[in-house]
Amino acid sequence: MIKLKDILNEAKGKDYTFEVIMPDTYNLKWTVTDSNAGEGTVAKNYDFEYQINHPDSSINGTKIKSSFVLAMSDDSTGLYTIGKDVAKYLGIPEADVKKDVDAGVESPDNAIIYGMSNIMNGGKDIYFWTNGTRLGGQAKKQGAMSAVMEQLAHEAGVHLTRKILVKMVAKGLKVNTENDKWVTHDYGAGKYNWPAIGDPGDTVDKIVSIDEETFATTCGAVVSMVTDEFFKMASKYVPNLPKLND
């Protein structure tokens, strides 16, 4: 049986480029590079090309080229260091978070922000960030693998995947994705009502424009991209987390 880690190991080059080909599902190629961030934060930039080949996807054969940042920090203040205007789109002032963190509000069992997937840098970039200390605390409660996989499924599998697909829809509609126009664009039900997940051919709700198979397949691709680096980042806070390459 061929394992995903074996595919990644074979595809990995000096430029940290990876490729996964899953017949009748998707082709995925991505490059991982260091991304600027503050002290106590590790960040990686992902540039990827993705083609969905699932026969039940309404966009079978469509190619997506995009990017995002994966990051993890010691505490919630680290989130604000991974890009510009994080606070603008997050809605939580950086000064307030810094004040609370300095006051000792955060702990392994309590975080102002546990995980987040949002936009930054004027709206052109998206990210998936995790509070490492809080993740470590959760791992002690429910187990290392369970806590890490839950966070991956929640933030990367759902929130990050949805943003990637909404940007795809926006590009198809000729909406500018180099700023935040794609975030406020009216996709059929007013501002801030993004395309929903539904069945192909659904005409009941005009906002439904991402079919479930497309979402599920893309979710799998996104999680496969970030899992290795996410485990590496998480190992600082979850010492008993298994190494994927063992």
pLDDT in tens, 32-46: 999 999 999 999 999
What pLDDT sits at residue 244? 74
Least confident of 58-67, 76-85, 187-196: 187-196
What pLDDT sits at residue 9? 46
Residue-wise pLDDT tens digits, 162-185: 999 999 999 999 999 999 999 999
* Cβ proximity of 234 and 72 under 8 Å: yes
Over 50: is that where the pLDDT of 223 sits?
yes
What pLDDT sits at residue 12? 46
Q: How confident is the model at residue 1 (pLDDT cuts 50, 70, 90)?
A: very low
What pLDDT sits at residue 188? 81
Return the ∠ at Cα 180 (arms to 86 and 99), rounded to 5°: 15
Over 80: is that where the pLDDT of 246 sits?
no
Residue with the bigger pLDDT between 9 and 204: it is 204
68 forms beta bridges with 46
Domain extents in the chain? 4-234
Q: Cα(220)–Cα(129) distance, rounded to whole angstroms?
A: 18
Residue-wise pLDDT tens digits, 82-108: 999 999 999 999 999 999 999 999 999
Task: Give the count of alpha carbons within 13 A of 138, CB side only.
Answer: 18
Distant-in-sequence, close-in-space partners of 183: CB < 8 Å, separation ≥ 6: 89, 119, 123, 192
| Kind plus residue range of the DSSP H or E element containing 144 | helix 144-151
What average pLDDT does range 67-91 have in this prediction? 97
The owner of tokens 């979850």 is 238
What pLDDT sits at residue 8? 47
Please provide the average confidence, as pLDDT, over all residues in the chain: 90
What pLDDT sits at residue 240? 85
Question: Which pTM was predicted?
Answer: 0.90
What pLDDT sits at residue 122? 96
